Amino acid sequence: MKRNLSLSKKRQIARTVLEGLHGFQHRWPERTKVNEALDSIAKSDDAILVMLRGAAGAGISSILEEFSLKFYDEVIVVTPRIYSTRLNIIGQVLHALFPFSSFPTYKHVPESLIQCRQAARKTIIFDDLDIISSQNNMEEVIFGQLYQLARSRGRYKIIMSTRNRRLLEYYSKVMGVTSMVIPVSGVIPAFDVSTVVQGFYDWCNQQYGTDVQSPCMSRFSKLDQDMPIDRIIYACETLYCSELLKTHLRFNGKTINFTDAPFTYEFPDHFSDLRHKVEHKAFS
């Protein structure tokens, strides 16, 4: 380590990293194009419905988080977190945006919502519309309100994300307003995985004043498998914290050292156990 950090400080760092609050962002070419498209939308005065489509682990939440921070004074963000004990905040935010959406007979966007334009917040972000719409089967209601909102005098730009084909079908039926679908694969080529990993370790070491050695990633590429960015980051978080806290697994009487030894095909079988052990040491 660069500094003689106490165990308490190391655990604090590990908790931050394991919760995904480290702030590391990898900008692969696809992400750069998506960022540029969203920046262009934010700078436009035209109303539009935008759907970011991608599988779990594509990094869409990370992209939208970076976008909302960049334009923090121009956006309203609806970001459900299924692991949060405050899940009812989804309903609270939805009612703040669509206060009458629970009444099927209500056909128009409230004038009070249109007035939000005066506060320069003309972009509304729905991160993972799947979770929001699953609350009380609100798919049709939400898209009806989104349509009204996009056509209102407020000229809102609405950015959503989904993995749900049914929601995409609803989205494709929205007519009379400009719309755009931005696909995000979030896949990093196998030969470039080591670049992401090294970047993550360099970032954390600089952020937290540590000198944690990055794992041997050469065998990762030899698995000949492209990987979603979120899966790579999840692995990096786990391995960084396991080394930081000196937490290792034992298998068949031997210690599995992921830092010094190359990854093997058996790696996934032990990884969830390692994550659990690291989390227990960091949070207990």
Same domain, 55 and 170: yes
Predicted confidence at residue 244, as pLDDT, reads: 93
In a domain, residue 1? The reply is no
Q: How far apart are CA 225 and CA 271, in angstroms?
A: 17
Residues 257 and 146 in one domain: no
Residues 43 and 178 in one domain: yes
Quote the distance between the C-alpha of residue 49 and its chain's center: 20
Q: Is the domain of 260 the same as that of 226?
A: yes
| Residue that finishes a domain, picked among 140, 161, 185 | 185
Domain final position from 185, 217, 238: 185
67 shares its domain with 106: yes
103 with 202, same domain: the answer is no
pLDDT at residue 122 in the model: 78
Same domain, 36 and 93: yes
**Dihedral sign (CA 12, 213, 31, 171):** negative
What is residue 280's predicted lDDT score, i.e. its pLDDT?
A: 93
| pLDDT reported for residue 134 | 64
Q: Give 13's contacts (C-beta < 8 A, 6+ positions apart).
A: 5, 208, 210, 241, 244
Assess if residue 217 is contained within a domain.
Answer: yes
pLDDT at residue 273, rounded to an integer: 84
Question: In terms of domains, do 192 and 152 share one?
Answer: no
If one counts the domains in the chain, the total is: 2
Q: Does residue 62 belong to any structural domain of this protein?
A: yes
Cβ contacts of 280 within 8 Å, gap of 6 or more = none
Question: Where is the domain boundary, 150, 185, 220?
Answer: 185
pLDDT at 183: 92
Inside any domain, residue 235: yes
Distance in angstroms (rounded) separating the CA atoms of residues 192 and 220: 10
pLDDT along the chain (284 residues), means of 10: 80 95 91 94 88 87 90 77 44 50 49 54 79 64 72 78 77 76 90 89 95 68 71 90 85 58 50 88 92
Contacting residues for 266 by C-beta, under 8 A, at least 6 apart: none
Are 255 and 178 part of one and the same domain? no
Domain extent, residue 109, equals: 29-185
